[in-house]
Amino acid sequence: MQGLVQEKIWDPVTRLWHWVLVLSVGVGWSFGKFLSFDNIQWHFYLGYLTLGLMMFRYLWGCIGPAPVRFSALLPTPASLLSYLRKVGQRKPSGTAGHNPLGSLSVILMLLAISAQAMTGMFLESDDFFESGPLAGYVSEATRAQLTWWHHLNADFILILVVLHVGAIFFYLLWKNENLIKPMISGWKWVRRDSDESS
């Protein structure tokens, strides 16, 4: 690709974390949406796994490789506006790591998934006689409020996932930029010429 070079961007730990999170959130969301006596316990187990994955990601964002650090995730307003002006161009953006728009998406997903896992710790299911490990430490009214937020946030996460997958296909089909392969191999086409912000 003209003006692009292949670089190792995503480390093995980040890639493994990403795909385990995809499975954990995807299967956990499905179990939550279609709760039954057969899967409610698995819904809780996957919630614990997701919470552990999120705690690791916050730590990894402080001590991990440069592309996954939180300092690399926070775009400046200028870089975001510059990127938005060029996002419709039919050529790969070639950004190392996440582009500014993708960074905002990642931050939003991290916060939404964290909130989902944390509210799940306080839930109590009268229908299936199961409860989160912290449900007994809050009032019934608080449990009801957190349950409401948990259900609402589940739909919000679904919207974020649909937008995320839609963006991946937009980059693949319109900009000729494969964002899936780098998250498997770690190697990404990166722009290193004077037009790096495109």
Helices 12-33 and 40-63 cross at an angle (nearest 10°) of: 150
User: What pLDDT digit, counting tens, does each position of 129-180 carry?
Assistant: 678 888 889 998 999 899 999 999 999 999 999 999 999 999 999 999 999 9
Integer-rounded Cα Rg, in Å, for the chain is 19
Q: Which among 132, 114, 155 has a CA at the least distance from the CA of 21?
A: 114
User: What pLDDT digit, counting tens, does each position of 107-133 carry?
Assistant: 999 999 999 999 999 988 766 567 888
- pTM (global) more than 0.75: yes
Domains of the chain: 8-189 (1.20.950.20)
CB contact set of 195 (below 8 Å; sequence gap of 6+): 3
